[in-house]
Amino acid sequence: MSLSVARFAVTRTTVGLTGGVQLPVEFHVFPADSAKAAATLAVVPAILRYFDQQIGPYPFPDEKYAIAEFGRPSFREGQTITHLGPPLITGGAGAEQVVAHEIAHQWFGNALTVASWSDIWLNESLSEYMAWRWIRSARGDAAFRALVDSARVAPVAAPIVPASPADFNSLFGNATFQRGPAVLVKLEALIGSAAFESALRRYVHAHRHGVVRTADFQRACEEASGRPLDGFFADWVRGTRPL
């Protein structure tokens, strides 16, 4: 649970999503940052529409999506609300990848919740992968390839799965934020973009508002592609084969 209390400047709007949904969108920011926030967060409706179309319907259509500024120089996601610290509200586009990642958590982490910390990559790697997808859509292939290339050379000490609940870096380190999304890019290349996008939608639809394990995601990919993927998951998800 996160609680932020301040004299916020509040902006409210709506964004049209699939199925005729008019989703309330709210920004609660410190008054001194309101002008910068308007510029930094202007991209939020477009990201929501993009994910709604790519992954499946926004999971909480009767609620909202909100961003609240908080005093920590960091960022945190929660169900239907994201907290951003002042360093990310710059008036520019520098926080776009973080904002996209946190929005993706509404699907990967909130609508679908991991059954065990050991599978935390299903929250973090899939959210980061979707942030990369947004960057490709918004800024082009070169920006996307730069993210992939950087992730491929990031040092990783252990496999993505199982992550160790006793080791913070295992849960929230390079394995989940760098190797994980890079492995998903590799998986998409292996089975084809059409099959991979179908797998994402199958996976989200089948487990909406439920718990998930890595086996569930693998099964969705196998069903969408029509091919076994035990070897791939053994090498790159449960193993440390170089990318």
* Rounded-to-10 torsion of CA 194, 183, 207, 229: 70
Closest among 126, 137, 154, 151 to 96, alpha carbons compared: 137
Question: In the CATH scheme, what architecture does the domain 114-237 have?
Answer: Orthogonal Bundle (1.10)
Give the model's pLDDT for residue 157.
Answer: 84
Closest among 125, 134, 126, 60 to 95, alpha carbons compared: 134
Residue 185 has pLDDT above 90, yes or no: yes
What is the mean predicted confidence (pLDDT) over 65-81? 94
Residue type, 62: D
Residue 218 has pLDDT above 90, yes or no: yes
Q: 3-state SS of 87-141?
A: HHCCCCCCCHHHHHHHHHCCCECCCEEECCHHHCHHHHHHHHHHHHHHHHHHHCH
pLDDT band at 100 (very low <50, low <70, confident <90, very high): very high
pTM of the full predicted structure?
0.96
Q: Using one digit for the tens of pLDDT, what is the confidence trace for 121-178?
A: 999 999 999 999 999 999 999 999 999 999 999 999 889 999 999 999 899 999 999 9
Q: What topology is assigned to 9-106 in CATH?
A: Zincin-like (3.30.2010)
Sketch the domain layout of the chain as residue ranges.
9-106, 114-237
